[in-house]
Each structure stands twice: as structure tokens, then as C-alpha cells.
A and B are shown apart, each in its own frame.
Chain A
């Protein structure tokens, strides 16, 4: 099956902040392959290298060595991003625009014809339940509403691959459930979803496969069911074990 996302010996190093410091290795020789139609969970503690890996895939950061591709196209080529949707961890949108204007702006970037853009905007605002607030500036939205606008903009080009960086971060339980429903729906439509999350229960429910990285290194990768069976533990226990967490037992 075609690999939608692929990294080969991906390594990312950052320059030292001062002359005495060693350079920081954010990602160490990472090999990943995500196939079409998969929901892939990318897990790791804070600072593990998840966001850096995503930044390489999105072309924000150049890899020090190794290769990364989307749909077989080198991530450094802008065309590699034609069929993807990206939802950042926090809401980074032009707050002076309304949801409708924001979606229209991104639709123009993708070259979506006007009538088709109108149709998709209506459809997406309905999907994320923001129809009533479509004419209001984004700066007046709650965090949950802003996150839903983010999800709508990630879907404006009807992408084949979604890259979601902690999509439920900071959302209330209802918001999380809605995002989870949308991911599930996208999965049913055959979309590929690559997402990072700290919500392990959510990952266990939604993902086909997961990868756990720690300090830039891939520690484990496999089907959720296989990992659970192999380790005889739930995903949270597996995760804590892999990152070397030792519970402090009370005397």
C-alpha cells in the first residue's frame, strides 16, 4: 500500500544557544511510514520531538539529514502540501477576519473556484457547528470555537492527509468528543490522519497504529491492539513504561 507519510533516517539538530552548549538533537534517525486510510497516533512526552517532526513534514523546519516525503513528494516542495490539512496545537488565525472570510482566504490559496468554495464553506461551518457565528470576527470566539474554525480550515481543500497537532488540547469534554467524532468520520471517509496527542485514551479509541518517541528516538511503533496484547497493559501503562517513568510509591 502507498506510503502517504514517510521519513527515512530523519535527523533534526538545532544550533546551541551559546558557544559552550552542545547542539540539540531534536529528532534522531526517525523512520516512519504511514499508509493511506490510517489514523496514526504520534505520542511522546513534552519535548520528545513530535512537533519538530511535524514541522519538518510541513516544511517549516529543514531536516539536518535524512529524508521526509508526503505522497512521495519531498516535503521541501510546496506542492507536497497541496493535499494536506493542518491543525496547529493552538489557534493561530487572523483574528480580524470572520470564520467565513478565513475559509474563503484559504480556499483562494488552494485555487478552489468561487462556487465550490461557497459550498465547502457552508458544509464545513455546518460540520463544526459554527454556522450561526460565521459572520463574527474570530477574536470574539471562545477557545473551543477557534479550535473548530481551525478544523474547518484544515478541511477546506478536502485533504487526503490531515496533520493534527494535539487537536483536543485545551478543549472541554464536549469539544473533545466533537473533534474525536470528526476524526472518526474522516477515517470512515478513507482519509489519512496523523496526529499527536497526550490524551492516550483518545488515541487508543481512534488510532489504527501508534508510534511513541522519547528524546527524539522512536521507541515503539505498531498497531494499538498488538501493543496492548504484547505488553499486557493499556496504552497509558505502555507509554509510561517506555518513557521510563518510575511511580513514586508511598511508604
Chain B
């Protein structure tokens, strides 16, 4: 465990020492602040619309941080050969994968906390309403969803040589799941066999990331998601994380260390 934590600490340190992270972060914060400060003559719909856009921006930023950070982790270790002194210590490749995963996921969590906090303060100060539990639920499910994305990108990073191709492909796949995942079963029904079975297969195989998009909880102040539903959604995500991490290890353990 100490090894995994040490490696994850390096990932987080690298992230906050990179300038591109701050650029994205400040950009998101500034746009959120600007949108939050615009007055719409207390028109509820307009305020909700602005909140929706601000949250969408947070979602996109979080995805960019998660995919961008994770995609370069293992390729950078191999390209800069820092993997050699690391594996010359009593460290296994599995621990490297877990450390990278934990570091990227924790970094995403920290970024989410700051972004949600910022958004919460801006919107709360305008509306004088603080739905803390709604924010916590949305934040938790968002973070759990990012765990699946991070594990998936990590798998991509040992399959594709270039981080840019991995980032592009995984970004498209994640966006595809978020936007189209929920409709795949309906699409399957309209297809002839064997296409129907194939589309159904894909529907049941992909991680349904869209389930974790509970922005409406904040925008429309909806009823909270039940604890049991939250726990099941977390378990569902953890299973996908485990599968992707296992896949990463199976590929990485046979991989030459240098690019």
C-alpha cells in the first residue's frame, strides 16, 4: 500500500506542477464566475440554464483533466525511462498501475472538490439557498464515474503507443457513452438480427457513465438519490474499474519497458 500511495503522490505532484492544469482550472473558474454573476431579473429558467451550462463546463473540464492526466502517465514513464529506476526497487508492475490509477483518480477528486465548491459558493450566494447534500451526491457520483474513465484511459495507455491517440479515442468513446449509451437498447430493437444482438451486447457491455450524470439534482433541486442507489452505482463503477485495471495489468506485464 505504501508503494501505491508513494506513486500516486508523484502523480498528484506532477499535476499541480504543470501549467496546463491551471490554465484549464482558471478558465473554468472564470467562466463559472462570469455566468454566476450575470443577472437575469430573477428569471428562474434562465438561472437554471446558466447553472446547467456551468455544470456542463465542469463536466467537460473534469473529463479533460482525467483523460489528459491519465493518458500520459505510463507512456511518459516509458518514454523518459523513469520506469527503470522505479521497477529496480521492490515494486511490481501491478503496483505501478494501481499507483497511477489512485493518483489520477485522487487528482480528479481534488479538482472536482475545488470546482464544485467554487460553483456552489457562486450559485449559493446568488440564490441564498445551500443544497449541500445535493452537491455532495452529485460530486460523489461524478467522482465515481471519473474512476471508471481513469481506469479505461489507463488501459488505453498500454494499448496505444501515443498518448494523443489514446486521449482522442477514449474521449470519443466516453462522450459516445454519455450521449448515446442510454439509447442503445432502443436502437437495438429497430435492428434486424444479428445486428440487434450485437448492439444489445454493446449496451450491456459498456459502463453506463450517463447514470452518474445527476446535474439535475443541483439545477432543479430534485429529490436526493437514495443511499442504496448510490451504493449500487458505486459498486457497479468499482467492478468496471477492476476489470479495466486487470486488463491494463495483463497487457502491461508483457510489455517492453522502453518505447
Which A residues are closer than 8 A to B by beta carbons?
58-60, 78-82, 84, 86, 88, 90, 92-97, 101, 105-106, 108-111, 150, 153, 157, 163
Contact = CB atoms under 8 A, between A and B. Distances in A.
A110 B3 CA distance: 8
A150 B82 CA distance: 11
Nearest to A163: B88
A105 B85 contact: no
Contact of B91 (A96, A101, A109): A109
Contacts of B86: 109
B91 to A, nearest CB: 6
Given A59-B87, A92-B84, 4 more contacts: A60-B87, A60-B257, A78-B91, A109-B3
Contacts of B90: 78-82, 109-110
A52 B87 CA distance: 15
A94 B82 contact: yes
A109 B13 contact: no
B87 A88 contact: no
Contact of A93 (B14, B85, B89, B91): B85
Contact of B85 (A78, A79, A92, A101): A92
24 contacts: A78-B91, A78-B92, A80-B90, A81-B88, A81-B90, A81-B91, A86-B85, A86-B88, A92-B82, A92-B85, A94-B10, A94-B14, A95-B80, A96-B13, A96-B18, A97-B13, A101-B13, A105-B6, A105-B9, A106-B85, A108-B2, A109-B90, A111-B2, A157-B89
B17 interface: yes
Interface of B: 2-3, 5-6, 9-10, 13-14, 17-18, 80-92, 257
A58 B87 contact: yes
B61 to A, nearest CB: 22
Contacts of A58: 84, 87-88
Contacts of A59: 87-88
A153 B3 CA distance: 16
Q: Which of B13, B81, B85 has the most CB of A within 10 A?
A: B85
Nearest to B99: A109
A88 B2 CA distance: 24
B89 A110 contact: yes
Contacts of B2: 108-109, 111
Contacts of B92: 78
A141 to B, nearest CB: 15
B100 to A, nearest CB: 13
Contacts of A86: 84-85, 88
B191 to A, nearest CB: 40
A82 B3 CA distance: 13
Contacts of B91: 78, 81, 109
A45 to B, nearest CB: 21
A237 B1 CA distance: 51
Contacts of B6: 105, 108-109
Contacts of A110: 89-90
Q: Which 3 A-B pairs have the closest CB atoms?
A: A86-B88, A92-B81, A108-B6
A85 to B, nearest CB: 8
Contacts of A92: 80-85
Nearest to B81: A92
Contacts of B17: 96
B115 to A, nearest CB: 24
A106 B18 CA distance: 22
